[in-house]
Chain A
Amino acid sequence: DIQLTQSPSFLSASVGDRVTITCRASQGISSYLAWLQQKPGKAPKLLIYGASTLHSGVPSRFSGSGSGTEFTLTISSLQPEDFATYYCQQLNSYPQTFGQGTKVEIK
């Protein structure tokens, strides 16, 4: 199975900060990577797929990059509604797997 390792696992930031989360795959997955956001008690929401394509309705402050084994999610200017847990997910091969999550909290 492909393992995804996110870093950091926890991030404390302020409104307006630029935030970057990294996801590393244990083997190459081309661009078959998605990023999701989850708030407490809610279902996850898709932010980015294909490593860099923004899902419909997602604000442009979110962006994704990378291919192969290293990927990043960047929030250009953190907003109050962005405090949440973020997951990467690989869709290159079965079983699909998720990273362990990165919790973004208010500094």
Chain B
Amino acid sequence: EVQLVESGGGLVQPGGSLRLSCAASGFTYDIYWMTWVRQAPGKGLEWVANINPDGSEKYYVDSVKGRFTISRDNAKNSLYLQMDSLRAEDTAVYYCARGTVAGYWGQGTLVTVSS
């Protein structure tokens, strides 16, 4: 069974940093693109970033470029999102998903940026 479990969310002050993790199991992790998508409270979905199987290609939405970094550790079946210089508008539930076409999703982790 495909499982994706996010962790690392929480409350952080504006300008702070947070690292999200996504633990994958139940499939051959190192052959799939992986994706981060976020959803602000009461709002729609926003694609954030994705990464190719060997980590050599990464794409970001403009609003996070230069502040967020997507990475992966295929030996640990894990996906990461390093978030720096956080802003109030980054407050959202962050989901990791398998594939560029996100066929499987984690349950999400809430990031709140507030003083």
Contacts and interface: CB of A to CB of B under 8 A. Distances in A.
Interface of A: 1, 34, 36, 38, 43-46, 49-50, 55-56, 87, 89, 91, 94-101
A56 B107 CA distance: 19
Interface centre among A36, A55, A91, A96 (most CB of B within 10 A): A96
Contact of A43 (B50, B60, B95, B100): B95
B74 to A, nearest CB: 23
Contact of B108 (A43, A45, A56, A101): A43
Contacts of B104: 46
Given A96-B50, A98-B45, 10 more contacts: A34-B101, A34-B102, A43-B106, A43-B108, A44-B102, A49-B103, A87-B44, A91-B100, A95-B60, A99-B44
Given A43-B95, A91-B100, A98 B47 contact: yes
Contacts of A38: 45
B46 interface: yes
B102 A46 contact: yes
Contacts of A43: 95, 105-108
B47 A89 contact: yes
Contact of B61 (A44, A89, A95, A101): A95
A89 B103 CA distance: 12
Interface of B: 37, 44-47, 50, 59-62, 95, 100-108
B107 A44 contact: no
Contacts of B60: 95
Contacts of A91: 100-101
Contacts of A100: 44
A55 B106 CA distance: 17
A50 B37 CA distance: 19
Contacts of B45: 36, 38, 44, 87, 89, 98, 101
Interchain residue pairs A-B with the least CB separation, the first 7: A43-B105, A96-B47, A98-B45, A95-B61, A49-B101, A94-B59, A101-B44
A70 B59 CA distance: 26
